[in-house]
Amino acid sequence: MASSYQLLDFGRGRKLESLAGYVIDRPSPAAAGHPKYAATWDGVDARYHESERRWTFNRPWPEDLQIDCGRFSMPVQPTPYGHLGLFPEQYDNWQWIAETSQKLGCDSALNLFAYTGASSLAAAAGGAKVTHVDAAKPNVNAAKVAAGLAGFGDSVRFMTDDARKFVARELRRERNYQLIILDPPAYGHGPKGSAWRLERDLWPLLSDCIQLLSGPRTAMLITGHSEQIEGRDIVRWLRDRFGEGLSVSTRRAELIDPHHRQLDCGFWVRAEFGRSDR
């Protein structure tokens, strides 16, 4: 049964989180300052040690642990890199994706750098047929499992591929989408070693993605963590190219603890286009 996520405390480069009552301690570079309740960190169920790239467990990880994501649920598992297969700070964006898919009557959505597929499931929950693209096969395999558990296995097409190369092929095939979602890393490598640098490669990819959008109303969501590019840079880029028919907004993604402190988790940009010509 799916349950909720809660940020409990943070500080000194770490965050304390509850996953349906299972408490974990792991690194968070943005977690500045001091924890509010230092003593509560001693009794955690699991802790990730970044220098050793390993977890230690005081209580076994619940094998069937799932987190409620609004219109769907996602399984969470500890990874060797300190991740969970889920980014809870994207909760509001998942609701926006589902609502936008439904509002657009979305037949086709594209999720690039799609990780384990929470945004793919959000689009599917809104009625879209989704193409899920990630360069890492383990991520794609995890996404397939999540889609099956959520009942969306038939709504998502899974591709292990480099996002740039996939988009270029879709352009040649004259494929179109009504909703495109991107969560590009600051840097990385494709399945065949091709290097990705956000400040260099995002802009041509966005240009290509814009060409894939077709319909009287379309939308795009871009999320990320970067010191080189911020949400306002993407907003400016979009406004320089589109005037009439563009609605765009940006904010910082964040997690909020019980003391109403905000932990920064990157940016998001939501864009809606009211014209079919790009």
Angle at 217 between CA 230 and CA 112, to 5 degrees: 45
pLDDT, tens only, 75-123: 999 999 999 999 999 999 999 999 999 999 999 999 999 999 999 999 9
CATH 3.40.50.150 applies to domain 88-273: yes
User: Hunting for tokens 């300190």 — which residue is that?
Assistant: 82
Q: Is the pLDDT of residue 278 over 60?
A: no
> Which CATH superfamily does the domain covering 2-75 fall into?
Golgi alpha-mannosidase II (2.60.40.1180)
Higher pLDDT, 191 or 28: 28
Provide long-range contacts, Cβ within 8 A and 24+ apart, for 141-147: 142/77, 142/85, 142/116, 142/117, 143/114, 143/115, 143/116, 143/117, 144/117, 145/75, 146/74, 146/75, 146/85, 146/116, 146/117, 146/118, 146/121, 147/117, 147/120, 147/121
pLDDT band at 275 (very low <50, low <70, confident <90, very high): low
Q: Is the pLDDT of residue 227 over 90?
A: no
Domain spans, the chain: 2-75, 88-273
Which of 86, 117, 113, 94 has the alpha carbon at shortest distance from 24?
Answer: 86
Q: Is the pLDDT of residue 243 over 80?
A: no
% of residues, the chain, pLDDT over 90: 88
